[in-house]
Amino acid sequence: MPKYAIIETESGLTVVPILPGRTPEEMAIQLGGIVVDPGPYPTYEEAYDALLAIRAEEESEE
């Protein structure tokens, strides 16, 4: 079962699966982004909750 990380691309923050044998950094490079939170999160839902928390924190800083 894949683990998940949060990356940022030109499209914004997104949750990505970390494929077996790969690192969050490799997945981010493959997708043209940078790692925001490497996790790893055991489920997509947990990673998405973390993504929402990051967005809320960014909005509160503005």
For 43-61, how does the pLDDT look when each residue is reduced to its tens digit (9 = 90+)? 999 999 999 999 999 888 8
- Tell me the pTM: 0.90
| Percent of the chain at pLDDT exceeding 70 | 100
Q: How many residues does the chain have?
A: 62
On whether the CB atoms of residues 28 and 11 are closer than 8 A, the answer is no
